[in-house]
Amino acid sequence: MRISSDRSPFARRSYHLLRCTVLALAGWLVTATDATAKPVADPGSSLSITEVAPGVHRLRIGQPEEFVPSDFRVAPIQTEKLAALPEPTKPHPFNLETVSYRQTSRGLLIHVKMDETEDWYGGGLLLSHLRQTGRRQIMKVASDPPGRDGSGHAPTPFFLNTAGHGFLVDTAREVELAFGGHQRKGQGMLSGNPELAISEAALYDDGNEVSQELSIMVPRASGVDLFLFSGPTMRHVAQRHVLFSGGGFDVPEWSLGVWYRSFTRADANRVRELADYLEADRIPVSVYGLEPGWQSKAYSSSFIWDPERFPDPQATVDDLRSRGYHVNLWQQAFTHPSSPLYPKLLDKSGDHLVWNGLVPDFALPEARKIFADHMRGLVAQGITGFKLDECDGSDNKSRAWSWPDHAQFPSGADGEQMHGVYGLLYMKTLQEALTEPTFGQVRHAGLFSSPLPYALYSDLYDHKSFLRGVGSAGMSGLIWTPEVRHGTSADDLVQRMAAMVLAPQFLINAWYCTMPPWHQWDKPLNQAGIPLPDDERIALTDRVRAVAELRVKFVPALKDAFANYARTGIAPFRAPVLDHPEVKELRNVDDAWMVGENLYFAPIPGGTTEREIILPPGSWVDYHTGEAIAGGSVVTRSLVLEEPPIFVRAGADI
Amino acid sequence: MRISSDRSPFARRSYHLLRCTVLALAGWLVTATDATAKPVADPGSSLSITEVAPGVHRLRIGQPEEFVPSDFRVAPIQTEKLAALPEPTKPHPFNLETVSYRQTSRGLLIHVKMDETEDWYGGGLLLSHLRQTGRRQIMKVASDPPGRDGSGHAPTPFFLNTAGHGFLVDTAREVELAFGGHQRKGQGMLSGNPELAISEAALYDDGNEVSQELSIMVPRASGVDLFLFSGPTMRHVAQRHVLFSGGGFDVPEWSLGVWYRSFTRADANRVRELADYLEADRIPVSVYGLEPGWQSKAYSSSFIWDPERFPDPQATVDDLRSRGYHVNLWQQAFTHPSSPLYPKLLDKSGDHLVWNGLVPDFALPEARKIFADHMRGLVAQGITGFKLDECDGSDNKSRAWSWPDHAQFPSGADGEQMHGVYGLLYMKTLQEALTEPTFGQVRHAGLFSSPLPYALYSDLYDHKSFLRGVGSAGMSGLIWTPEVRHGTSADDLVQRMAAMVLAPQFLINAWYCTMPPWHQWDKPLNQAGIPLPDDERIALTDRVRAVAELRVKFVPALKDAFANYARTGIAPFRAPVLDHPEVKELRNVDDAWMVGENLYFAPIPGGTTEREIILPPGSWVDYHTGEAIAGGSVVTRSLVLEEPPIFVRAGADI
């Protein structure tokens, strides 16, 4: 076993502490009492710690795999910005004396002692929970997360705690972590349940105290790099993670307005009619999105216009642009046999098909170039953005439409690894084609995705889950949008739209609706082409317009939040605990979020008519009433459909 | 690579066919065109086929692991009974010319060409679907299956198809299978969707045609035994699987009557009062079950009576026995520090704790003996059966209460493998203590569990799912009971009870109810000790008694079905497709089941008030009306709460 402590140029100031730690670590290696933690037999194995950027250490255990997310970073480490942050109080988050690891038949197993008084967060987009303490999480890419197991559209093995520490596991595999969720023999006891439980929740959820151990299982690996982030505060950890990943991104102002994605089966005439509706209804739309039917084939995708539905695609694009809309095209990577890309990608794709389509191996620069070259033709027609669908996975679906984890790719990755980075690689590919600033949508993102201007979305539609995604994604350097498709009533439609007023995107995704949802909120009736009675339709249109106009008012503030993201790495949308881990009451707030520095948004979830809101520290003003509210106050807001609860920091210029 | 064809004593009659197949196989090995299928580099690897019992072949690929389910069989192969079955039309189900395999970083990957016109079933207890065709399934033990991914209380890697073929994968690992759910490049195309989908179901479920390939991924293994079962019919395949696994089981008549499991916090006085209620209400109970609170500690379990709640346990047991009840005790294997078993099991348990308790390594005969010796003391007190809780897993729970897959056990198994056989081993342990015939409950079972007299159960409570479990479990040699706990209304309580009239057990599990659910169907009110008004309570009690008495009438027929299971291996409860795969209309019937040879039961799921019923071939009589109905008829039945739809084979003596 070898212990190294490479000194990077900026390591000087923490050199002493680092040296002390390495000495302590060396001591641990000799005196380790954990009988199950043995050094790896392979003499090439090692444990070393290196400062790789200000406040960022690399803890290398064993020999990392060849194919890891950091291989595909899209922007360099923002070293200068990292150096400008306040100095951490500790050089890195782990007490290395408590780190142990061993090689198992499943992969590399790492144990670290935690301070169980701290709470853990992160893990990417979470739709079912926010706080990770006590949980076991598996970073498995799957379009239908079954619950709180960590799988989902954008699992991201970056975690951070309320003490101002964090770490990232540089693996594309389905790494499993437990934050005090497992208990080893001989490592202390939990306090135990005081009385006999009479509910499943008491047995299985509430009754589980937290052990002191963090465990990390990197499957099928015999080594891994952990990147360790030091605060000083929790917010600095999130910021360091983004800056280390290449920074955040800014977006063009038009992309913060109202999006309308139209009926997938619409042809050029229908697209023109729908654009006429939007104008007649005076809905201030700024982006018009075409869904799969723009193509000659879907699913899988041909990436060429359908000659019957769109005999003159340039005319369609020009018409939309002349109305002031930017045009966004849906696509998925799976390449249909009829696509001109098919023969070029045949030997640059995985060994499995998806919907008969090739799965391009975007880890190969040549595959990215072939794909981007084709997309450049669409960009030349005036397309300014894309929606990248189904680049996640399907393991929890009743039918496994995506490639299996045991697939093989020419770049050397297996299917599991490719799932772990496919969103990153797919966005990277499209960015090679796009020439001007954009903001798109994507169904998978993860480590090192923070510089890429895409928002995550989902077919899932539970409103509370959708709201939860905004704040959780932000903590891990991701952006998520709680899009609207239809309503269960006119009020439900308005309530869902209102919850997007301060969301990353205001996105009406009417891909399965023949007409705008405010012409008919009911999905089956909309699909059947039956609009609401005129009076109801006009009234609903007025209400939707009011909400859309409220959104538009906030575009400058939203633009500021994104500009700040690009400049500093501070997530534009984030759960309030990130800014105030010291406020225990905020630690489980998963349905309200900070927007930039001066806005706090607490929409009332669909299906409910009032909610409690805990104001973060500071002085606040209710946007709608002008009422001043002190930070720390708990206020109740009843549903006013077109006026979702918005709080402005006192004195801020909004 | 070595090809062997060991001849077992009973292999003579199919020797010629076998020889031809081996020659064909040898030919395939030379001419294989699948570029990805390469012989394993390890010179010790091999592929061999051996007839191990009449109609059962072992296909050995590579070098199987040390710790596999067949190591723990509880009864020998029922060779004579297998020999008495009709001769298969094919020696074994796979066309070996189409079998290919390769070693991957994930484990052993096997591909077999399927006939895509056949439908696949099996996989153990399935609560969300029945037919496996087109699906990808992972045999992961988990108490909260997220959907249709194959995980659950009792995933069992045995599968069978409508052509009369089946196979078992002899692994305790989370084997993944895809029945035409994946599509490899160069292996043919699917027909594809004719038009643009406008629903998620069309995109992800309905729109997925089936490829011709079965794939089997045995994780972390470099070899495996597949046991292949030949019909001639689908029903014979299920039968052969059970007989190969050691046969089915018979149960004592008392265990087929009405079960009552009482409030977990009940003390001796309360148990006596509850028994008085049962007598006063004239509910014909034959088994009384005590839940965790009989013990001094739970969770985890001390396995000794609580001295405060039960100062004289023998008196409690004697009182219950004197009323004619058999007594069943709840337990879980996790051994509390205060248990007398704790010091004895300390070094015979896994390296992780569950709820502070040891996880006994029941793969060790000494651990089984220590545990069984203690249980014998309870049996000597008059206990005649046990309920074995939480021996499944928790990977889909929000908190992972169970041991992790990377745990280690002294027997050499890791946590994943131990999950795969824990129910089997736990039942095996208890059977070493029990001296007379019994019928218990267990929360995990799997391969080789068929001889063990236990019914599976769950905390999940969706009624349609509960009904689905009966027929699906039966196809894989398992027994499942759709127990009743409480109702959403008085009618719902009666409807759920009625659905147990022809279920494997008629089990009222009132563990969280202070009083019988017919005194108060509403869970919170029951827990608060508030009974229904007298008139409602008396009326509901009369209805519940009527349903219980109907159950009791059928005990002789149910006893016959179990006796037949023990004698022949024919599942006493099974989905109708098993008997009639030729009837396409029955292939998706997942909410009705055959009981023995002469009863067909089609309860109306809770929340619905009528249903269609497709009668299997034969001549039938409606039990309630006496109406004669021809097989193949489709009849509609409206809800008559106390009279669930029962059909008797014409001429049968019921």
Q: Which two tokens stand for residue A487?
A: 């309503």
Least confident segment among A391-400, B105-114, B405-414: A391-400
Cβ under 8 Å to B: A residues 24-63? 36
Least confident segment among B113-117, B148-152, B284-288, B495-499: B113-117
Which pLDDT does position B208 carry in this prediction? 55
Which pLDDT does position A193 carry in this prediction? 63
Cβ under 8 Å to A: B residues 57-96? none
**pLDDT confidence band for B193 (50 / 70 / 90):** low
- Decide if pLDDT at A3 tops 90: no
Test B353 with A198 for CB contact under 8 angstroms: no
Which pLDDT does position B41 carry in this prediction? 38
A138 contacts on B by Cβ (under 8 Å): 395
Least confident segment among A308-312, B11-15, B304-308: B11-15
Which pLDDT does position B37 carry in this prediction? 38
- How far is C-alpha A87 from the chain's CA centre? 28
CA angle, A615 then A467 then B394, to 5°: 110
CA distance A28 to A31: 5
Best mutation site among B138, B196, B200 for testing chain A: the one with the most A CBs within 10 Å?
Answer: B196
Which pLDDT does position B186 carry in this prediction? 87
CA distance A610 to B193: 44
More confident residue, A395 or B486: B486
CA distance A650 to A83: 31
**pLDDT confidence band for A399 (50 / 70 / 90):** confident
Which pLDDT does position B374 carry in this prediction? 98
Q: Largest Cα–Cα distance in chain A?
A: 80
- Is there a contact between A500 and A258 (Cβ–Cβ < 8 Å)? no
Least confident segment among A10-19, A257-266, B78-87: A10-19
- Decide if pLDDT at A465 tops 90: yes
- Decide if pLDDT at B561 tops 70: yes
Test B395 with A109 for CB contact under 8 angstroms: no
Cβ of residue B406 closer than 8 Å to a chain A Cβ: yes
- Decide if pLDDT at B87 tops 90: yes
Please name the residues in contact with B534: beta carbons below 8 A apart, sequence gap of 6 or more: none
More confident residue, B32 or B176: B176
Share of chain B above pLDDT 70, in %: 91
Question: Which value, to the nearest 10 degrees, does the dihedral of the CA atoms of residues B470, B474, B479, B480 take?
Answer: -20
Test B217 with A406 for CB contact under 8 angstroms: yes
- Decide if pLDDT at B420 tops 50: yes
Which pLDDT does position B194 carry in this prediction? 66
Which pLDDT does position A98 carry in this prediction? 87
CA distance B501 to B641: 12
Q: Which two tokens stand for residue A355?
A: 């919907």
Least confident segment among A456-460, B5-9, B77-81, B489-493: B5-9
**pLDDT confidence band for B95 (50 / 70 / 90):** confident
**pLDDT confidence band for A318 (50 / 70 / 90):** very high
Kindly report, residue by residue over B593-648, the tens digit of the pLDDT. 999 999 999 999 999 999 999 999 999 999 999 999 999 999 999 999 999 999 99
Please name the residues in contact with B291: beta carbons below 8 A apart, sequence gap of 6 or more: B261, B262, B263, B264, B330, B511
Beta bridge partners of B179: B214
- Decide if pLDDT at B257 tops 60: yes
- Decide if pLDDT at A226 tops 60: yes
Give chain B's mean pLDDT. Answer: 91
- Decide if pLDDT at B5 tops 70: no
More confident residue, A44 or B565: B565
Which pLDDT does position B587 carry in this prediction? 96
- Is there a contact between A391 and A422 (Cβ–Cβ < 8 Å)? yes
Token pair 């679907």 is found at B129
B377-415 burial: b if 16+ Cβ within 10 Å, else e: ebbebebbbbbbbbbbbbbbbbbbbbbbbbbbbebebbb
Average pLDDT over residues B88-106: 85
Least confident segment among A72-81, A109-118, A617-626, B228-237: A109-118
CA distance A349 to A358: 6
Q: Which two tokens stand for residue A191?
A: 């306090």
Which pLDDT does position A7 carry in this prediction? 37
The interface predicted TM-score (ipTM) is: 0.88
More confident residue, A91 or A489: A489
Which pLDDT does position A212 carry in this prediction? 83
Least confident segment among A189-193, A260-264, B524-528, B582-586: A189-193
Report the gap between the CA of B151 and the closest CA in chain A (Å): 10
Which pLDDT does position A549 carry in this prediction? 98
Cβ under 8 Å to A: B residues 338-357? 349-356
Mapping DSSP to helix (H, G, I), strand (E, B) and coil, where does residue A293 land?
Answer: helix
Which pLDDT does position B436 carry in this prediction? 94
- Decide if pLDDT at A507 tops 50: yes
Please name the residues in contact with A81: beta carbons below 8 A apart, sequence gap of 6 or more: A243, A247, A568, A569
Share of chain B above pLDDT 90, in %: 82
Which pLDDT does position B2 carry in this prediction? 32
Q: How many CB atoms lie within 10 A of CB A565?
A: 26
- Decide if pLDDT at B120 tops 50: yes
Euclidean distance between the first and final Cα of chain A, in Å? 58
Kindly report, residue by residue over B350-398, the tens digit of the pLDDT. 999 999 999 999 999 999 999 999 999 999 999 999 999 999 998 766 6
**pLDDT confidence band for B18 (50 / 70 / 90):** very low
Please name the residues in contact with B355: beta carbons below 8 A apart, sequence gap of 6 or more: A190, A192, A193, A207, B299, B300, B334, B401
Which pLDDT does position A45 carry in this prediction? 52
Kindly report, residue by residue over A410-449, the tens digit of the pLDDT. 999 999 999 999 999 999 999 999 999 999 999 999 999 9
Q: Which of A402, A443, A456 is closest to A573 using CA atoms?
A: A456
Average pLDDT over residues A132-159: 90
**pLDDT confidence band for B28 (50 / 70 / 90):** very low
**pLDDT confidence band for A89 (50 / 70 / 90):** confident
3-class SS string, B241-298: HHHHCCCCCCCCHHHHCEEEECCCCCCHHHHHHHHHHHHHCCCCEEEEEECHHHECCC
**pLDDT confidence band for B116 (50 / 70 / 90):** confident
B136 contacts on A by Cβ (under 8 Å): 395, 399-400, 404
Report the gap between the CA of A501 and the closest CA in chain B (Å): 26
Test A106 with B217 for CB contact under 8 angstroms: no
Nearest residue on chain B to A109, alpha-carbon basis: B406
3-class SS string, A578-638: HCCCCCHHHCCCCCCEEECCCEEECCCCCCCCEEEEECCCCEEEECCCCCEEECCCEEEEE
- Decide if pLDDT at B24 tops 80: no
Share of chain A above pLDDT 90, in %: 82
Using alpha carbons, list the distances in angstroms from residue A141 to A405, A423, A444, B24, B247.
Answer: 10, 10, 8, 41, 41
